[in-house]
Amino acid sequence: MKRLLVLLAACSSHGSSPDAALFADVPPGTFALASPSLAPNASFAKDNTCDGADASPQLDWENAPDDTGSFAVVLTDTSISLVHWVLYDIPGGWTGLPAGVAAGYEPANVPGAHQPIGLQAPDRVYHGPCPPAKHFYQFAVYSLPEATLPGATMDTTKEDAVDAITAHGGSPATLVGSYMH
């Protein structure tokens, strides 16, 4: 099991490289995902769950494939195979997401990106962990060759978005955490 050194220092989510310390134990050249607020296989911070602000954590990735046109992030409760959150059309030059991705189809703090309706219609927003018992959650970031998700519109459901993301994206970089309400 790989363990990543996680720093609480903020780092740029787009344009420049993520904090190298987040990826200290990752083999060179590996497409990898990390967060300064969620160590691999650790518990989610309260602020990233329904017990707190229910805000998305900062996510950082490195070594995306050269042909990346855009990114997509999917948060799944793997204990019950329930998709909690999807964000797609993240610009291909970005190296992560800021904490607290804004609500809406076109979140203001991630220009160009889109969110389908989430767990609770008509909300288009991050819904973090909120289980009554311990569950495991996986963030997966996919590199897509297209700048926009093929066939996606404002009416695309999260399930349809995930189907298109997995059909067009390669192997994702993942980060797993757990939470108990």
CATH number at residue 162: 3.90.280.10
In a domain, 9, yes or no: no
Q: For the chain, how many structural domains are there in total?
A: 1
pLDDT along the chain (181 residues), means of 10: 29 52 83 96 96 96 96 97 96 97 97 91 91 93 97 94 94 95 77
Residue 15 CB burial class (10 angstroms; 0-12, 13-18, ≥19): exposed
Q: Taking the CA of residue 31 as centre, how many other CA atoms within 13 Å lie in the half-sphere pointing to its CB? A: 17
pLDDT of residue 180: 87
For 165, the domain range is 20-179
In a domain, 44, yes or no: yes
pTM: 0.88
In a domain, 14, yes or no: no
In a domain, 25, yes or no: yes
